[in-house]
Structure 1
Amino acid sequence: MPVWKTPFNGYSVKFSPFFETQLAIATSQNFGILGNGRLHVITLPSMTEVATFETSDGMYDICWSESHESLLVAAVADGSIKLYDLSLPPDRNPIRSLKEHGREAHGVDFNTVRKDSFLSAAWDDTVKLWTVDRPASVRTFKEHAYCVYAVAWNPRHADVFASASGDCTARIWDVREPGSTMILPAHEFEILSCDWNKYDDCIIATASVDKSIKVWDVRNYRVPIATLNGHGYAVRRVKFSPHRGSVIASCSYDMTVCLWDYMVEDALIGRYDHHTEFAVGVDMSVLVEGLMASTGWDELVYVWQHGTDPRAP
């Protein structure tokens, strides 16, 4: 597939869970420090833009709804969480702008079980729980001592999620409980990302400024079951494969995208060095096995099949 050029710096990329031909990209002007943001939706394999929405501040993350094929939620640097409906014209979007976070909103994730619920993570040290039909958050989770960079719902339990924070901990939460149910002192430096295994709901991965990815079993979380070393700088995002339980994708400030199998001794099974700036967004298609996408501060979006060169036309 050809490469797609974004007007701003790429921050997040997500395949649609409904259409194998749709890809959403969140971008920010001036590396996300100052300026506007844009959400783009493009069609594959032609890499043709079908929708674009602009925000007055940078856009750091996006996520597709798990129940409405045209609905997306975005995390914006002004602290707002915006909902977009692709079936409506641009002048009727966003359909909702939820402004409760006191600082930059950095991560969003839709619940795959209770499909009207989603989470947001922000630099005000909090996580918020929302539902699509309510104009205010359902609950705020306030235990982290520093920025919360990412949240991820457990793929099988409607009430359980994980959060990754700059306070060097990952926390496991159950929305039915008053506080977090588990604290993982996972890394010695900031944790930038986390994700649940799609095949084993007790396995979670964390990614850190310490350049490592760690895999944990929440039934016995004192020691990681795997530590994946190979990135040269902070690991910005980590994603479990939707097709193979032991496979993880990651991207890093070292400008590479890596693929790992944490169950084997030589865990690194693929390294792609196609980006020329920080690689900050990576995703794997739920609908097409082996199909990957990445974006970075080089203003480029790549879509490729694992094992092929992302730069090949």
Structure 2
Amino acid sequence: MATYGESMKSYFASNGRTRELQGHSSKVHSVAWSCDGRKLASGSFDKTVIIFVQDKDRYVKDLTFRGHGDSVDQLCWHPTHPDLLATASGDKTVRIWDARSNRSVSTINTKGENINICWSPDGSTIAVGNKDDLVTFIDTKSHRSKGDEQFKFEVNEISWNNEGDLFFLTSGQGTIHILSYPDLKLQAVLNAHPANCICIEFDPTGRYFATGSADALVSLWDVSELICVRTFSRLEWPVRTLSFSHDGKMLASASEDLVIDIAEVETGEKIAEVPCESPTFTVAWHPKQHLLAFACDDKQRDRDRDRDAGTVKIFGLPSDP
């Protein structure tokens, strides 16, 4: 009987095609799937958000959200509502969008240039971090800030755990700070990496979280024990982005390496690698299928080919016969 890793290697041998989706005029910073997997959103330096939807065997542009006055640096969908999307921008605002009406339903002014954003698992709160290491918590019913937390270290990425009772931050010191939520009392500081700890991602099963670092390593942590159980070391450049597959059994990681590494979580072995022509800064597994969305810094390549620079890609589609 084939192992999971062997089965997925065989699967991607037959479903290893990458398709490009065009629409942005500049670099794409963030991609994310809606909770039902029916929509794929991308946020770009061109100040817009594009929603792609599936049309038979391909994905097509459905909506374009405009309104931000600066780059859309990160976006996230509501955890249970498939039409609500939140975006963080350098224009010092957070916007909430409704894909049913193609409009912004709320604009929340914040105190700085926003670079990361996440939604609490229960959907009640949005957290947004800015370039000055200030994290603002926004009530999603009133669309108003319900508090700020200033940190004295470089905050790179933020996330709740799956239960929503702990809040995690990765730091420029290579540490992971864990706070209780909602009172934000420090519970633990994990010395995760000897270099800048860039990104963090929780697996859908709630068993693990992973961090990516400037030391080019990905660390896998046991959520309950808060111990590192495995590292992945096939990349050679700082790890910028991570995503777990919907079953929690695969982990995609990407950097300035010209490949995206897809590893089996339980063994650390390589299942597949996705070739890229330029650095990759965002990856996202589909919530129900083995489809990986990603975007690369392909501005130079596309300028040479005289076409739009902001390309979203999807890996895991059936190969052409």
* 1:218 CA displacement: 4.5
Give the corresponding residue for 1:31: none
Give the corresponding residue for 1:177: 183
Residue identity in the other structure for 1:304: F
**Structure 2: distance between partners of 1:164 and 1:86:** 31
Q: SS of 2:282's equivalent?
A: strand
Residue identity in the other structure for 2:238: A
Q: Pairwise mapping of residues 29-40 of structure 1 onto structure 2 (< 5 A)? A: 36-40=46-50
Q: Is the 8 A contact 1:284 1:292 kept in 2?
A: yes
Q: Which runs of 4+ in 1 moved over 3 A?
A: 218-221
**Structure 1: distance between partners of 2:238 and 2:52:** 29
Q: Deviations over 1:251-281 (max 9, x none)?
A: 21223211112321x52222111x3222011
* 1:169 CA displacement: 1.8
Moved more, 228-237 or 182-191: 182-191
* 1:178 CA displacement: 4.1
Give the corresponding residue for 2:14: none
**Structure 1: distance between partners of 2:279 and 2:29:** 10
**Structure 1: distance between partners of 2:111 and 2:254:** 27
Residue identity in the other structure for 1:225: V
Which of 108, 113, 127 is the aligned partner of 2:117? 108
Q: Deviations over 1:156-176 (max 9, x none)?
A: x12223222223222222213
2:321 is equivalent to residue 285 of structure 1: no
Q: Deviations over 1:91-124 (max 9, x none)?
A: xx3222222232x312222222x12322222221
Number of aligned residues: 289
Give the corresponding residue for 1:249: 252
Residue identity in the other structure for 1:136: R
Q: Is the 8 A contact 1:126 1:144 kept in 2?
A: no
2:186 is equivalent to residue 188 of structure 1: no
Give the corresponding residue for 2:157: 150
**Structure 1: distance between partners of 2:173 and 2:91:** 22
Q: SS of 1:52's equivalent?
A: strand
Q: Is the 8 A contact 1:228 1:262 kept in 2?
A: no
Residue identity in the other structure for 1:15: W
2:6 is equivalent to residue 3 of structure 1: no
Q: Pairwise mapping of residues 1-313 of structure 1 onto structure 2 (< 5 A)? A: 2-5=19-22, 6-18=24-36, 20-28=37-45, 36-44=46-54, 45-54=57-66, 55-89=68-102, 93-102=103-112, 104-112=113-121, 114-146=122-154, 148-155=155-162, 157-201=163-207, 203-221=208-226, 224-243=228-247, 245-264=248-267, 267-273=269-275, 275-288=276-289, 290-298=290-298, 299-305=310-316
Q: SS of 1:94's equivalent?
A: strand
Residue identity in the other structure for 2:313: Y
Residue identity in the other structure for 1:153: W
Report which of the two structures shows the higher radius of gyration computed on alpha carbons: 2
**Structure 2: distance between partners of 1:259 and 1:79:** 35
Moved more, 225-234 or 45-54: 45-54
**Structure 1: distance between partners of 2:197 and 2:33:** 24
Give the corresponding residue for 1:33: none
Residue identity in the other structure for 1:97: T
Q: TM-score normalized by structure 2?
A: 0.82
* 1:213 CA displacement: 0.5
Unaligned 5+ residue runs, structure 1? 29-35
Residue identity in the other structure for 2:212: A
Change (3 A) 1:12 1:65: same
Q: SS of 1:235's equivalent?
A: coil
- CA-based RMSD of the aligned residues comes to 2.2
Q: TM-score normalized by structure 1?
A: 0.84
Change (3 A) 1:144 1:225: farther
Change (3 A) 1:176 1:111: closer
